[in-house]
Every structure is written in C-alpha cells, then in structure tokens.
Structure 1
C-alpha cells in the first residue's frame, strides 16, 4: 500500500490520518520531492483506469496557463504532469495493482476492502 502524499495538502493529511486510524501503515511517496516519471504516470493511469486529464488539478493557475487555448493529447498531459508534479491530483492510494484518488476519501477505502 502506497500513498502519494503532499503533507501541505489538507485532503492528503486527512487521508493519511484516516488510513492510520483504520490500522493501515501506507508507504508514503512524497511525489513533489520524488516526482513520478512519465512511465510511472502511465502505470498509475492504468491502475486508476482513467485518462491523463482526470489526474490533473485543473484549478491550479499553472494548469490554466499551460493549457489555455490548447487541445492537449494524453502524451502531452503526461509530460506536463511529470515536469510539474504539483499538477497531480491528491491523495492517491495504490494497493494490489490498483489505485484510487481520495476525492472523496471513501474511494481509497473502497479500494482496500
């Protein structure tokens, strides 16, 4: 069990606390300090069963700047996520070859049932 975690994010802290309260000790991946490669992002998207755009924090000012007036394909979005990890939605739990974005938090608990 691995949690992509940003300790400055309240939702990410909430997810970690809820997992620990439920008796789980996830491996913490501080993805802002140790960014995902493009290959890791592709693997994560497969585990999430989502397109790259679903992984983007679309309200981030940086995303609005990078995507303004453009139609971006999967590979371009993956590349942008790799070089700008703060654009990756959080928290994300990876468990047994699958993953879930913890928004709402219930999604990560559905994954570990």
Structure 2
C-alpha cells in the first residue's frame, strides 16, 4: 500500500496528499509528527529515497539551527536527531513498495505512482 508521511500544516504536504487523492489509489496517511518513525524505518525511507540523511533534514528549522547546524554529525546522529525532533523531517514523503519520493516539488510523487 502507498503511504504518505504528511504534515497537515504544510502546504507542499497538502498538495502531495491531493495528488494521491486524485490518483484514485488506496493509500495510508501517516502524521509523522504524532506517529514518529523509529530509526530503522527512517533509515529504510532514506535508502528508498536514495539520498543522504542530511538531505532529508529541514535545515532552516530553528531546532536544527540552534542545536545541530554547527556540529559535525554522523549519518546515524542525523537520523537520531530527526527521530527525536520529527519537525526536522522534510515532507511530504510518499512510499510505494520499494520506491519513494520526496514531494518537493509535489510532482515528484507522480513518478512512483
């Protein structure tokens, strides 16, 4: 089943959700701020996205700037920071089997449907 990691307060995330709704396909919505992925799940998502953990971080968030920006962090430490502070996770993320897309821009989602 298709899964979207969604933040209802985010415009891009709402656009991604709309794309899924318009596709007519079944999908599951995960409000990742409430249902935070565990480290292993986040690592799996990063692997499916074929990116580095730092590429999934919202680096302009106040939490990142104040607590992590000036530090040299390993990939595992970056993943841990996102799990502990899920607002740092870029959104939306759509998973479809072994494929994933970061919905920035939302049109990226179409490539995996």
Structure 1 and Structure 2 fold alike (TM over 0.5): yes
Structure 1, residues 30-86: CA drift from partner, whole Å, max 9, x if none? 110110111111111111111100110111111111223211110110110111001
Q: Which residue of 1 aligns with 2:71?
A: 70
Q: Which residue of 1 aligns with 2:34?
A: 33
Relative to the length of structure 1, the TM-score reads: 0.94
Q: Which residue of 1 aligns with 2:49?
A: 48
| Alpha-carbon spacing, 1:21–1:71, altered in 2? closer, same or farther (3 Å) | same
Higher-RCO chain (CA-CA 8 Å, sequence separation at least 6)? 2
Please report the RMSD computed on the Cα atoms of aligned residues, expressed in angstroms. 1.0
SS at match of 1:59: coil
Relative to the length of structure 2, the TM-score reads: 0.94
Segments of 5+ residues of structure 2 without an aligned counterpart are none
- Using the TM superposition, give the Cα deviation of residue 26 of structure 1 relative to its aligned residue in structure 2, in angstroms: 1.7
* Distance across 2 between alignment mates of 1:26 and 1:33: 18
Aligned positions, number: 112
